[in-house]
Amino acid sequence: SVPQEPPYLTGLNPQQREAVETLDGPVLMLAGAGTGKTAALTRRLAHILYTRRAWPSEILAVTFTNKAAREMKERVGRLVGDAVEGMPWLGTFHAIGAKMLRRHAELVGLQSNFTILDTDDQLRLLKQLIQAYGIDDKRWPARQLGGLIDSWKNKGMTPDALDAGESEQYANGRGQELYGAYQERLKALNACDFGDLLLHVLTILRSNREVLEQYQQRFRYIMVDEYQDTNAVQYLWLRLLAQERRNICVVGDDDQSIYSWRGAQVANILKFEKDFPGAKVIRLEQNYRSTPHILGAASGVIAQNSGRLGKTLWTELDAGEKVRVMGVWDGPEEARRVGEAIETCERGGKSLNDIAILVRASHQTREFEDRFIAIGMPYRIIGGFRFYERQEIRDALAYLRVINQPADDLAFERIVNTPKRGLGDKAVAKLHQLARAEGIPLSIAAARILDTDELQARARNALGAFVGDIARWRDMARELPHAELARQMLDESGYTAMWQADRSADSAGRLENLTELVRAMEEYETLGAFLEHVSLVMDNDAQADDAKVTIMTIHAAKGLEFDTVFLAGWEEGLFPSQRALDEGGIASLEEERRLAYVAITRARRQAVILHAANRRIYGQWTSSLPSRFVGELPREHIEEETTMSGGESLWRANWSEHADPFANVKRGSGRGPGWQRAASTGGFSTEPKRIVESRKSAVSLGNKGRDDIAVGMRVF
Ligand code: ATP
Ligand code: MG
């Protein structure tokens, strides 16, 4: 009789099967999106456990997110049952690093109950050090130092092993000294930061032969998903651990390397064969996820990149529908169209859980959130906070609330020392005392306490200035449009500057969110109406397990798949991002293109790409061009459509605000991310004529229908 095939081998194609069954020696599974790399890795894990080649505790398996780790554990559990119990070393690099560090903390001068600091704590600590070292923290902000230290840790460099030139990046060469002092201080606090979870473990493995050998023996098998996005310290770590047994299997796709801004090095995957001579390279070519049109569209875009390893992809799925490319008039119309399309999917019996909206920049979620609230469409934001819950948005809203409502103590407390103005906890405690004793709001107490000698001179000056600012902003609120008030307030309070000085990876995104907030305000008549809207949005918490549309950034969508995917904002300056266009030349542009590839390949059956002809920035309309990636989509795989009804919304909006719809349209002046975008995508200027021209250039990118809009405008 034919021996029964174990469940974990069922349905695999020959290449996947080879990957699952090649257990000895290094293996590199190099394949495009949706070819079942993660699936094969999971089966391989099941195979090892099922055949008892290793105990669960003898396998090191690294996934990119905690969610992916949970899923892998679940799937292996389904395949082999209890054998999966206790896979202590299945998780993200950080989770595994934390576990190892707890075991050997003393080897780097910590105790095993060390604290892991969050970014706020980390900054406070850096700030103290910078002051103690007599460095001007206006010129050399703590956030900048924090960003540098992170990047050094990602590169695997301890303070005494900084590469030449690194130290120069901070305070005229004092980077190294401060980095060293910071590490000492952490030790004294029995604490570490996120980067240490990897760097300390690397140090331990490097300087303690016994420990290294113990782990080299323990881990019979090592497996890593999304290998193309490992950074230097992770790479060094894996190489040490795998050197002895060499049973390491890594899985990745050079075309999906999208984290170089966090120190990831696609080179790691390219040099795997060199690091592990004799590695078996397995290529998977059958895609099980997406229809031919979706694959064709994605392949056409990524083909424009140079220096690729190159891969063939094919699928047996039915052709399905073409990728829809939809030109809309503006952001609100984009959100409206997507909302309508989702409702159509719903009527067709599709679950909201199978639908995702992917954006390039996190500020783009706002327009969709507002729209979905309005039409009662349940949604979830993954890999980030919902727009109005983000730290910078809450801070900015607190400023507005204080202006709107002097008794809003919570808001006052949130901003009284944000950005830092030298008001310590003590001063704030005194404010509270006075407010309580007299039964008055904090903002009134703040004015009164200035007449007493309760506060030290420094705190009193700081508070005096702040109270004066608030009074001035309240006056301004009577005259200025509220969006303009918000912008000035964020500038004058130093809040914008605080994030501008921030060199951490997410600061640019936060600034964009602030710009987006101001943009959102323009849609409301009064400040009060806007704040009312926000509190309603915040309150909108649907049941946790209801079906919901997912809204997320492309970065967060890596490795995931959905039946229907909407790809929003494919416009020059938004995607590719203005930053990529300004800074990086070819390398950053190619990373943006890889992002486009990741985005399209998340879709199983249906992909819709949207681009708007106009985005509204600080009350002014700016024309945008469709992304070059739209132009790179092979014609035979797409179906283009342009809506015109949206034109109305522009006229309506402008009519209600200004007699002349174009009175307010000016060339961009670099005032914010949006302005720079407008300027370098051609910076269309005042007259309607110029805007008509911009439509024409859009037509040359293959956007039929655009000239109709132009005609419509001339008629108007
Ligand atoms: P990505 O590069 O996006 O991470 P991937 O290569 O890891 O993609 P998977 O997520 O593992 O791809 O698989 C994509 C889809 O194909 C999943 O729905 C998976 O269940 C399915 N799949 C994988 N292998 C097979 C197979 N042999 N037969 C049928 N379906 C498969
Ligand atoms: Mg995968």
In the predicted model, what is the mean pLDDT of residues 651-660? 35
Residues whose CB falls within 8 Å of the CB of residue 183, separated by 6 or more in sequence, listed in order: 158, 159
Provide the pLDDT for residue 707: 26
Which tops the pLDDT comparison, 695 or 324? 324
Under the banding of pLDDT at 50, 70 and 90, the label for residue 38 is very high
Distance 91 CA to ligand 1 centre (A): 20
List the residue whose alpha carbon is closest to atom 8 of ligand 1: 34
Question: Residue 608 pLDDT > 50, yes or no?
Answer: yes
Residues 200 and 215: their CA atoms lie apart, in Å, by: 15
Q: Which residue minimizes the CA distance to atom 13 of ligand 1?
A: 36
- Its ipTM equals 0.99
**Cα(653)–Cα(646) distance, integer angstroms:** 11
Answer yes or no: is the C-beta of 386 below 6 A from any ligand 1 atom: no
Q: Quick one: what percent of the chain has pLDDT higher than 90?
A: 56
DSSP 32: -
Q: What is the CA radius of gyration of the chain?
A: 28
Q: Is the pLDDT of residue 694 over 60?
A: no
With contact defined as beta carbons under 8 Å apart, do 53 and 276 qualify? no
The number of C-alpha atoms within 13 Å of 711 and in the hemisphere containing its C-beta is: 7
What CA–CA distance (Å, rounded) separates 484 from 527?
11
Please identify which residue in the block is written with the tokens 């995702």: 356
Answer yes or no: is the C-beta of 533 below 6 A from any ligand 1 atom. no
Long-range contacts of 179-186 (CB under 8 A, 24+ apart): 179/145, 179/148, 179/149, 179/152, 181/129, 181/133, 182/125, 182/126, 182/129, 182/145, 182/149, 183/158, 183/159, 185/125, 185/129, 186/117, 186/125
Ligand 1 neighbourhood includes 36 CB (under 6 angstroms):
yes
Neighbour-count burial of 700, counting CB atoms closer than 10 A to its CB (0-12 exposed, 13-18 middle, 19+ buried):
exposed
Query: What average pLDDT does the segment 395-415 reach?
Result: 87
On average, the pLDDT of the chain sits at: 84
Q: How many CA atoms lie within 13 A of 213 on its CB side?
A: 3
Q: Binding site for ATP, residues?
A: 31-38
In Å, how far are 28, 269, 278, 301 from 275, measured between CA atoms?
11, 10, 9, 31
- Planar angle of CA 44, 598, 628, nearest 5 degrees: 160
The region that residue 173 occupies, defined by phi over 0 for left and psi between -120 and 50 for alpha, beta otherwise, is: left
Establish whether residue 12 lines the binding site of ligand 1, counting it when its CB lies within 6 angstroms of any ligand atom: yes
Ligand 1 close to Cβ of residue 417 (< 6 A): no
Is 602 in the active site? Answer: yes
Residue 168 has pLDDT above 60, yes or no: yes
What is the three-class DSSP state of 640? Answer: strand
Amino acid at the residue 664: N
- Which residue spans within 367-473 are E strands per DSSP? 379-382
- Residue 673: cis peptide before it, omega within 30 degrees of 0: no
Is 449 a residue whose pLDDT tops 70?
yes
Q: Is the pLDDT of residue 654 over 50?
A: no
Whether 383 shows a pLDDT value over 70: the answer reads no
Mean pLDDT score, 72-79: 87
Phi, psi of 564, rounded to the nearest 5 degrees: -120, 130
pLDDT for 408 equals 77
Q: From the CB of 225, is ligand 1 less than 6 Å away?
A: no
Q: For ligand 1, what atom is nearest to the CA of residue 31? A: 6
Query: 281 C-alpha to center of ligand 1: Å?
Result: 18
Ligand nearest, relative to CA of residue 30:
1
CA of residue 9 to ligand 2 center, whole Å: 18
**DSSP conformation class of 5:** P
pLDDT for residue 467: 94
With contact defined as beta carbons under 8 Å apart, do 455 and 463 qualify? yes
Q: Beta strands 379-382 and 549-553: pairing type?
A: parallel
Residue 464, SS3 per DSSP: helix
Establish whether the linkage from the previous residue to 88 is cis, with ω within 30° of 0.
no
pLDDT over 60 (residue 192)? yes
609 and 324 in contact (C-beta within 8 Å)? Answer: yes
Question: Of the ligands numbered here, which is closest to the C-alpha atom of 284?
Answer: 1
In 3D space, the residue among 93, 101, 403, 334 whose CA is nearest the CA of residue 234 turns out to be 93
225 classed as catalytic: yes
The pLDDT > 70 percentage for the chain reads: 86
Which of 52-56, 73-77, 311-315, 541-545 comes out lowest in average pLDDT?
A: 541-545
Which ligand sits nearest to residue 256's alpha carbon? 1
Assess contact for 238 and 77: CB atoms under 8 A: no
pLDDT of residue 566: 98
Reported confidence tier of residue 2, pLDDT bands at 50, 70, 90: low
Distance 65 CA to ligand 2 centre (A): 11
Closest CA to 92 of 267, 243, 224, 241: 224
- Residue (of 530, 592, 607) closest to 290 by Cα position: 607
Which atom of ligand 1 is nearest to 39's Cα?
11
Which of 27-31, 256-260, 471-475, 663-667 shows the lowest per-residue confidence on average (mean pLDDT)? 663-667
The number of residues making up the chain comes to 716
